[in-house]
Amino acid sequence: MSELRFEALNHAQLANVDASFSAGTQVVVGSERDGTDILIELAAGMRRPASGRVLLDGVAAWSNAGTRRRIACLCAEEILLPARNVTGAVALALRARADDRSALSVLDHAGLAHFADQRASALTSREARAVALGIALSHREPALLALHEPLTVAGIVQEDFILRTLSKLGAAGAIVLCTASRLEDAARLGGNACALERGLWLGSAQARPPLSTVTLRVRTPEPRRLAARLSEAPDISGVEWAGGQELLVHGSELERLAQSVVANARAEAIRITALKQDAPPLEALAAARAGLAQAYYERARSAGNTTSQS
């Protein structure tokens, strides 16, 4: 069973990504701005990580040709290999993979035979990606399929063909790592979902909780007494006092939290000189966005399942 691991990976936007994937479909929700394109290139061994490691079955694909041969990939931008025409470019790619099939049969299988005699430079970027996807999906026994937005070329390559092939390869033990910027695409690809948010990795567990805690900064001349009183209040989940006249009070709902702080202070006749909401950290905001995305994704998926059942 294959395993893909990102260990303390830092490269361009990607910040300290730690994740591992096993066989089956894995969808990373995010856009190129979030670093999904770089994630795919690193997974495919096309770039050397600036720091950290990317390992497929314990081997860095970047520096091992044998491992790269077990990977099929589709990048955000594809430039076909230089050749007279598309057939020549595909034939050279197949030779590089030590695949003895004919270029025409690969193109035909993906429904792209009409491109065969065209000049590679005459293809649009979307058509070039479609041809590259055709080459990737023709891999006989991939350990990893690293595909950037595979469903954006649906229409040139049949969506049904893409989904069927991915499902078949995933079932055969390959890791199918796809990215999707549209939640509908993520839902159609299925499998486990996780997210990249401006380079920050949000695993499926992290992606779920929305902004669950609210923090208030409370200034008072008697912080010790107020902290003691608030620590027993049911609406308050935590109180921090690091010395000085300021307390950090945590809870789940802003209005109830503020009311509770004021009521408890009044009950003890403690004066409050300032009360304001603490800005949440960027990580919490990112997690909230991803949580929202996850909720939409799951709703879209369940709606898709209902439609297909009916």
The least CB distance from residue 74 to another protein, in Å, is 11
The least CB distance from residue 165 to another protein, in Å, is 18
| Of 19-27, 82-90, 190-198, 260-268: span binding another protein (CB under 8 A) | 82-90
> For another protein, how many residues bind (rule: CB under 8 A)?
27
- Nearer to another protein among residue 97 and residue 301 (C-beta): 97
The least CB distance from residue 146 to another protein, in Å, is 10
Residue labelled with tokens 């050749």? 83
Residue labelled with tokens 């009950």? 267
Contact status, residue 69 vs residue 139, Cβ threshold 8 Å: no
- Residue 140 binds another protein, judged by CB under 8 A: no
The least CB distance from residue 305 to another protein, in Å, is 35
- Residue 84 binds another protein, judged by CB under 8 A: yes
Residues from 275 through 294 that contact another protein (CB under 8 A): none
- Nearer to another protein among residue 81 and residue 233 (C-beta): 81
Strand order in the sheet with 214-219: 236-241, 246-251, 214-219, 274-277
| Of 73-81, 155-163, 216-224, 258-266: span binding another protein (CB under 8 A) | 73-81
Work out which of 8, 50, 79, 171 binds another protein, going by CB under 8 A: 79
DSSP sequence for 159-219: HHHHHHHHHHHHHTT-EEEEEESSHHHHHHH-SEEEEEETTEEE-HHHHS--S--EEEEEE
Burial 89-101 (b: 16+ CB within 10 A, else e): bbbebbeebebee
- Nearer to another protein among residue 46 and residue 55 (C-beta): 46
| Of 4-12, 85-93, 225-233, 271-279: span binding another protein (CB under 8 A) | 85-93
- Residue 142 binds another protein, judged by CB under 8 A: no
What one-letter code names the amino acid at 205?
A: A
Which residue, 114, 117, 112, is CA-closest to 87? 117
- Residue 97 binds another protein, judged by CB under 8 A: yes
Which residue, 109, 177, 179, is CA-closest to 139? 109
Report how far apart, in Å, the C-alpha atoms of 99 and of each of 93, 95, 106 are: 9, 6, 11
**Element containing residue 254 per DSSP (H, E):** helix 254-267
Report how far apart, in Å, the C-alpha atoms of 43 and of each of 38, 77, 120, 141, 155 are: 8, 15, 26, 17, 26
The least CB distance from residue 47 to another protein, in Å, is 9
The least CB distance from residue 96 to another protein, in Å, is 4
Residues from 26 through 65 that contact another protein (CB under 8 A): 44-46, 48, 62-65
Rounded Cα distance between 158 and 160, Å, is: 5
- Residue 100 binds another protein, judged by CB under 8 A: no
Work out which of 70, 129, 188, 301 binds another protein, going by CB under 8 A: 70
The least CB distance from residue 49 to another protein, in Å, is 12
Which chain residues interact with another protein by CB under 8 A? 44-46, 48, 62-66, 68-71, 73, 79, 81-84, 88, 92-98
